[in-house]
Amino acid sequence: MIDPQRWLRLETQRGLRASACCLLAAIVAACGGTAEVVRPLTARGDVDAIFAEYDRPGSPGCALGVIQNGDFVYRRGYGSAHLEHAVPLDADSVLKVASVSKQFTGMLILLLDERGDLALDDELGTWIPEMADLGPITINHLLHHTSGLRDYLTLTRLAGYREHDYFTAADVLDLMSRQRELNFAPGDEYLYSNTGYVLLALIAERATERSFADLAHDLIFTPLGMESTQFDVDPMAVVPRRAQGYATSPEGFVVSMTDLPIVGDGGLLTTVNDLLVWDRNFYENRLGKGDPELIRRWVTPGRLNGGGGATLTGGGTYGAGIIVDEYRGVGRVRHSGSYVGYRGNISRYPAVRATVITLCNAAGADAPGLADSVADVFLDTVLAPAAADSAPAPEAPASDDFTVAVSQLRQYQGRYVSRELGVTYVLRIRDGRLVASLPDRWETVLSALGDGIFVDPATDVRIRFARNSAQRVDGFLLDAERVVGLRFERIG
């Protein structure tokens, strides 16, 4: 029988990076409880120094857990869970983990598929008829970010919502029901979209006639004994040991929390200690029917219409709420998350049965980067040599090489409405520059990139003006992070 750890190491050593990521999905189930016990990890450096910025009174920070063979080999909190009461952050502190939540949503959908409550080939309209018919979008597409649906967080920002504004899942559904175009045809591409995971939570509720939070509690958290873990559907509820989120301001730290009752794409509250049993389940599945095939399906990447796997920028593939890639030559199963004052990351290295967890309540914390630094310390003997740092090429100025005369800018002045967002942007000339605004919300000076193409340098939002048959500007298309080709019509 082939030793899966040796197999993966040989593949990565040969430099077959894409192959290793695909192979990892196939060997996870084979690892099960029979994988070879690897040499225990020991820290080959100063772990605490990595968190020195937060390891002091009066600072929020991070809770760290390093796991091998199902047990902690290092566990510590740095900083405070609650600054006002000087409560230390530790492995029992409850933190919101943002998009780290997606792996639990993905697992829950697979469990409902296993039970026959839904099928991954079900089309979106079967469960959410309120949505316009935008093409044959399936649950599989939602799981793997290949649906083409625009990201609701990007859309709400474009509609003038601020990070701390309140809206509900019903508001998200209303926004998405007004969408009339996709970023791309379903299955043609990969583009990360939080929308798909909010809709997955809704589908789970409609398929079972139960709340998403209760489903996760009964099908995942209770079977595994994750007693401090829950989806945060009632942000006003008292949660024992909840760590408050913080951001920085010129005056120091300020509270940075959200009261959004939206789950699926995020919304999970958990602890480092609870994530230990979640990590154990990767190797010995206890969920559903207890079939190790469930884990293999969880990490299996989505497929594109052309037959290939959906590849992430920078490498790796996306499973059912989980990323499979590699770090310094060793296969990795991971996901990170960030929202308001919370940052989180779980990085698992199946070849050595090791996992690094970093959960932070400081908006400035780089949870994935901190986890990589911890892996450098603990996994130094199995990781490939670190690549030499190379200075990134300086970015060219967005607009300084392309100027537009005021006489030419006048053709773009006017009011432009997006029926899908329900907002009107105003474009006007000021001091020889084209200025865009959403009245009472924001204003920005645009820079020209080319003929009829402008960008907001602060956000990289780009607009491309369109003309009618008479060559009059009658609208524009907007591209922003996870939104492509959003139409605005000129109304004045």
Cα–Cα dist 65/312, whole Å: 27
Helices (H) then strands (E): counts for the chain:
15, 23
Strand pairing partners for 75? 65
Beta strand pairing call for 414-418 and 483-490: antiparallel
In the block, which residue shows the tokens 């008292």?
A: 238
Q: Which amino acid, residue 409?
A: L
Cα–Cα dist 355/347, whole Å: 6
Catalytically active residues are 99
CB neighbour class for 436 (10 Å; exposed up to 12, middle 13-18, buried from 19): buried
Pinpoint the alpha helices (H) of 211-271.
212-216, 222-224
* Contact of 298 with 108, CB cutoff 8 Å: no
The interaxial angle of helices 194-208 and 169-177, nearest 10 deg, is 110
SS (HEC) of 456-488? ECCCCEEEEEEECCCCCEEEEEEEECCEEEEEE
Beta strand pairing call for 414-418 and 87-88: unpaired
What's the chain's Rg over C-alpha atoms? 24
With CA atoms as reference, report the closest residue to 178 among 138, 229, 134. Answer: 134
* Contact of 423 with 368, CB cutoff 8 Å: no
Q: Tokens at residue 268, please?
A: 């999970």
Q: Which amino acid, residue 60?
A: P
H/E element holding 27?
helix 17-31
Strand pairing partners for 413? none
